[in-house]
Structure 1
Amino acid sequence: MIEKIQMQLYWKYIAQQNADQILAFFHEDGVIRWHCSNEQFTVHEFIKANCEYPGKWNGEMERMEQIGDQIITATHIWSDEVSCHVVSFFQIEQGKIKQLDEYWGDDGEIPEWRLKMKIGRPIITGSGSSL
């Protein structure tokens, strides 16, 4: 069983782009899929894509659920230029990530058509804290 603190550390290392620490979380033959862009990566390709992405990043894991050997997280990742939320499905084997399926979405403004309806309200006001 993976503890919440371990997943918080995982997301901290992702935001810090710390390749060595990220690698320690994965099975050697792990598979990572980014469904929104239809991409599949080996562990080393995933680490390269993550760690060579430009900019300084922050992150905050907002939620974690565990069902058997599957962990689901909802995380906010942001820089000075970009803010995203990601829902991640981790398949764990022997305490390491064997498969990771992620769905990334850019944060944005409320569409004008919905503003005109005058419905809803902000979930969170202000900015999040970093890991």
Structure 2
Amino acid sequence: MDIKKRVLQFWEDVANQNPIKLQEYFRPDAIINWHNTNESFTVEEYIIANCEYPGQWCGEVERLEIIDDLVISVTRIWLSDNSFSAHATSFIRFYDEKIINLDEYWGVDEAAPKWRQDKKIGRPIN
């Protein structure tokens, strides 16, 4: 299995909200955790949460690190009309070439808080 290719395709299917393809990535007993909202999902629940999320989505994997059976990805997801953008840092653990555990941390892309802007500290990354 080319794990890098598999994770890149996974994120494409997440953005496309493809429930049939998403099911194929997971072991039936996989657990998916969204830590920012304190939610834990079964595979079926995750697919509902992902595929019924409103809007048309795009995605781009910005960084991928592979350590044995663990893949760490940083992915930007945005609405196709560019009205919303977020980044997900994901820890994806594989077992027998399927995802057994997915821990995600989401952050909304937004301007720095006013107090930091007022101090004129930091600069744009890109």
Q: Same fold (TM over 0.5)?
A: yes
What TM-score do you get using the length of structure 1 for normalisation? 0.90
Distance 1:3 1:96 in 2: 10
- Deviation digits for residues 12-52 of structure 1, max 9, x if unmatched? 00000011111111001111010111111000110011000
| Cα shift at 1:3 | 2.6
What SS does the corresponding residue of 1:24 show, helix, strand or coil?
helix
The residue type paired with residue 120 of structure 2 is K
1:72-87 matched pairs, under 5 angstroms? 72-79=72-79, 80=81, 81-87=83-89
Q: Which consecutive segments of 4 or more residues in structure 1 shift more than 6 A?
A: none
Which residue number in structure 1 is paired with residue 14 of structure 2? 14
Which residue number in structure 1 is paired with residue 55 of structure 2? 55
Aligned residues: 124
What TM-score do you get using the length of structure 2 for normalisation? 0.93
Identity among equivalent positions (%) equals 48
Asked if 2 retains the 8 angstrom alpha-carbon contact of 1:76 and 1:83, the reply is yes
Asked if 2 retains the 8 angstrom alpha-carbon contact of 1:88 and 1:102, the reply is yes
What SS does the corresponding residue of 1:14 show, helix, strand or coil?
helix
Asked if 2 retains the 8 angstrom alpha-carbon contact of 1:8 and 1:61, the reply is yes
Which residue number in structure 1 is paired with residue 94 of structure 2? 92
Distance 2:84 2:113 in 1: 18
What SS does the corresponding residue of 1:121 show, helix, strand or coil?
coil
What SS does the corresponding residue of 1:99 show, helix, strand or coil?
strand
- Where do 5+ consecutive residues of structure 1 fail to align? 125-131
| Cα shift at 1:2 | 4.3
Which residue number in structure 2 is paired with residue 129 of structure 1? none
Distance 2:35 2:55 in 1: 23
Q: CA RMSD in A?
A: 1.1
Which residue number in structure 2 is paired with residue 45 of structure 1? 45
What SS does the corresponding residue of 1:53 show, helix, strand or coil?
coil
Asked if 2 retains the 8 angstrom alpha-carbon contact of 1:75 and 1:87, the reply is yes
Q: Which of 106, 109, 120 is the equivalent residue of 2:108?
A: 106
Distance 2:10 2:125 in 1: 25
- Farther off after superposition, 1-10 or 79-88: 1-10
Distance 2:43 2:2 in 1: 19
- Where do 5+ consecutive residues of structure 2 fail to align? none
